[in-house]
Chains A and B, each alone.
Chain A
């Protein structure tokens, strides 16, 4: 960056030299955003139209009082348990994909990359696995669920499989990033002294990154709880399916109870992950 010539003595500068640039960037941003707004039919004022306000108000008003019947609550408890089970089973299956994929793709565990470039064979194996993970996680779990609902029928199995595939891809990729963001020296030293890859992982990478890996896994578990709810809408069971039917029946009281259960679940997962990070940190 070059400095502008200092202003002549006695004449105070009258312009901020950065002004023109700021205006130009702001104008460029507007030009870019405008087509996006048109493409998404972004018309927020519709929210405030009298019709929408009336409809929204009716829906919100139906939230009270929340449904608290014993029978309904028992059913919610059962479905909550099913949702948690679906998320947990999905994540566990996802780990079966993610952990081996991470161990195979992590560059820090490459023996041939210890001394210069990685050898060609291992390089392509790593690339292929990474692409595989990208495919797995770039297909949304909703789409996987729709596929599996056709294959295995309505019910939690489809949800579990959908979560397993998408989250396996996500966890595998992010685990790899976490493992490579730390200090490579301990792992390298172990490999240089002749340890195997898994030994180097257990004694070099894991002690550095265990807390971050665990906290990310719990965060993803929380996300899986949320997505298992969405998957319920396409027939995978659990709280989502309850919510779907309550919405269709315009039963606001049930909706608000279900929402409260959600918030509690997510808050619980958050506390759990914070505690885990403190223990491992």
Chain B
């Protein structure tokens, strides 16, 4: 899918009215099949940018075009069909705790399934081989029939990524895919995403905290700082000076990066209480 942002500004929906928009007017073009890493210190507007691209957040100003159409001019049904052609993976994997991994992964395919097919798949998973294959790419094949709340944080994050491999999408928007992974798992996950995106000619936009990972795996790097575009360069041309300027006053994020997100398994879900209302 081809992306085009012209002068797009956006504000997080929870932000106060007077607050500065998380994304200053910004223009960006991404060709179909291109792979872009978005880097920058925390609070730079990386997640907001992904949400705008995912049609999750309407821009305050400017225009977004996906494959040449402005999604916010479409009627709601058409917009929802368009959303079915992209895949947004939030940083915290959105998996219901009591669901099994196989169901959680197959949920990526919902936009391509009719209602009956998807309900039938709840009773008996529709495509176990496909779910298995996707998990295998992330080294999780043995967890196929585990419950999501029995997994560690890193495992859950990889389940969230495996969902992308089943989505009928031509655009992957992946937010901090490596935040809960140890270095070797992170390498593997990044490799898998980039290789699969290449093989399927899917456009891939990922935000990353790990600058070295971005430079190693992505041909194009977009630097964001304070909601504005700092640079947009081929990875080869990104110099240490660029990075030093991008991360000025946030040097600890450039070196070493923030500590991985809490990787402990979720606490077991609280017992179901009886409500008398």
| A203–B96 CA distance with the chains assembled, in angstroms | 8
| A227–B161 CA distance with the chains assembled, in angstroms | 50
Please, which residue of chain B has its CB at the minimum distance from the CB of A170?
A: B277
Interchain CB contact (< 8 A) of A190 among B57, B107, B273:
B107
| A189–B174 CA distance with the chains assembled, in angstroms | 12
| A281–B147 CA distance with the chains assembled, in angstroms | 12
Within 8 A of B (CB), among A178-225: 178, 183, 185-186, 188-196, 198-200, 202-205, 207-208, 210-212, 215-216, 219
What residues of A have a CB within 8 angstroms of the CB of B81 in the complex?
A: 194
Interface size on B, residues (CB 8 A): 44
Asked if residues B80 and A207 are in contact (CB atoms below 8 Å), the reply is no
Asked if residues A207 and B98 are in contact (CB atoms below 8 Å), the reply is yes
| A273–B275 CA distance with the chains assembled, in angstroms | 12
Asked if residues B92 and A185 are in contact (CB atoms below 8 Å), the reply is yes
CB distance from A225 to the nearest CB of B (A): 15
Asked if residues B90 and A185 are in contact (CB atoms below 8 Å), the reply is yes
CB distance from B90 to the nearest CB of A (A): 6
Give the one of A174, A198, A203, A204 with max B CB within 10 A: A203
User: Helix, strand, loop or mixed for chain B's interface?
Assistant: loop
CB distance from B166 to the nearest CB of A (A): 11
| A249–B115 CA distance with the chains assembled, in angstroms | 58
Asked if residues A195 and B274 are in contact (CB atoms below 8 Å), the reply is no
Interface flags, B39-56, vs A, CB<8A=1, else 0: 000000000000000111
Contact of A277 with B by CB under 8 A: yes
Asked if residues A212 and B83 are in contact (CB atoms below 8 Å), the reply is no
Contact of A114 with B by CB under 8 A: yes
Please, which residue of chain B has its CB at the minimum distance from the CB of A182?
A: B96
Given contacts A185-B90, A186-B96, A208-B96, contact A194 B83 (CB under 8 A): yes
Interchain CB contact (< 8 A) of A192 among B54, B95, B96, B273:
B54
What residues of B have a CB within 8 angstroms of the CB of A204 in the complex?
A: 94, 96, 107
Within 8 A of A (CB), among B40-92: 54-58, 76, 80-88, 90, 92
| A112–B72 CA distance with the chains assembled, in angstroms | 11
Contact of A115 with B by CB under 8 A: yes
Asked if residues A194 and B86 are in contact (CB atoms below 8 Å), the reply is yes
Interface flags, A253-281, vs B, CB<8A=1, else 0: 00000000000000000000100010011
What residues of B have a CB within 8 angstroms of the CB of A273 in the complex?
A: 274
Contact of A111 with B by CB under 8 A: yes
Contact of B118 with A by CB under 8 A: yes
Within 8 A of A (CB), among B9-62: 13, 54-58
| A219–B84 CA distance with the chains assembled, in angstroms | 39
| A196–B116 CA distance with the chains assembled, in angstroms | 12
Contact of A50 with B by CB under 8 A: no
What residues of A have a CB within 8 angstroms of the CB of B107 in the complex?
A: 190, 195, 203-204
Contact of A116 with B by CB under 8 A: yes
What residues of B have a CB within 8 angstroms of the CB of A277 in the complex?
A: 271-272, 274
Asked if residues A198 and B115 are in contact (CB atoms below 8 Å), the reply is yes
What residues of B have a CB within 8 angstroms of the CB of A200 in the complex?
A: 110
Interface size on A, residues (CB 8 A): 40
Asked if residues B90 and A189 are in contact (CB atoms below 8 Å), the reply is yes
Please, which residue of chain A has its CB at the minimum distance from the CB of B167?
A: A193
Give the one of B55, B88, B110, B271 with max A CB within 10 A: B110
Given contacts A111-B80, A212-B275, contact A189 B115 (CB under 8 A): no
What residues of A have a CB within 8 angstroms of the CB of B223 in the complex?
A: none
Asked if residues A193 and B76 are in contact (CB atoms below 8 Å), the reply is no
Interface flags, A114-130, vs B, CB<8A=1, else 0: 11100100000000000
| A190–B113 CA distance with the chains assembled, in angstroms | 13
What residues of A have a CB within 8 angstroms of the CB of B261 in the complex?
A: none
Asked if residues B83 and A202 are in contact (CB atoms below 8 Å), the reply is no
Asked if residues B84 and A208 are in contact (CB atoms below 8 Å), the reply is no
What residues of A have a CB within 8 angstroms of the CB of B187 in the complex?
A: none
Asked if residues B97 and A194 are in contact (CB atoms below 8 Å), the reply is no
Contact of B111 with A by CB under 8 A: yes
Interchain CB contact (< 8 A) of A212 among B54, B57, B80, B272:
B272
| A210–B97 CA distance with the chains assembled, in angstroms | 12
What residues of A have a CB within 8 angstroms of the CB of B199 in the complex?
A: none
Contact of B6 with A by CB under 8 A: no
Asked if residues A193 and B108 are in contact (CB atoms below 8 Å), the reply is yes
| A192–B89 CA distance with the chains assembled, in angstroms | 10
B-to-A contact residues, CB < 8 Å: 13, 54-58, 76, 80-88, 90, 92, 94-99, 103, 107-108, 110-111, 113, 115, 118-119, 122, 167, 169, 269, 271-277
25 contacts between A and B (CB under 8 A): A115-B57, A115-B58, A119-B76, A185-B92, A189-B88, A189-B94, A190-B107, A190-B110, A192-B56, A193-B83, A193-B87, A193-B111, A194-B81, A194-B83, A194-B110, A195-B107, A196-B110, A200-B110, A202-B122, A205-B96, A210-B98, A215-B272, A216-B275, A277-B271, A280-B272
Extra 14 A-B pairs, beta carbons < 8 Å, given A205-B96, A273-B274, A281-B272: A185-B90, A186-B96, A193-B84, A193-B88, A193-B108, A193-B169, A196-B115, A204-B96, A208-B97, A210-B98, A215-B274, A219-B276, A280-B272, A281-B269
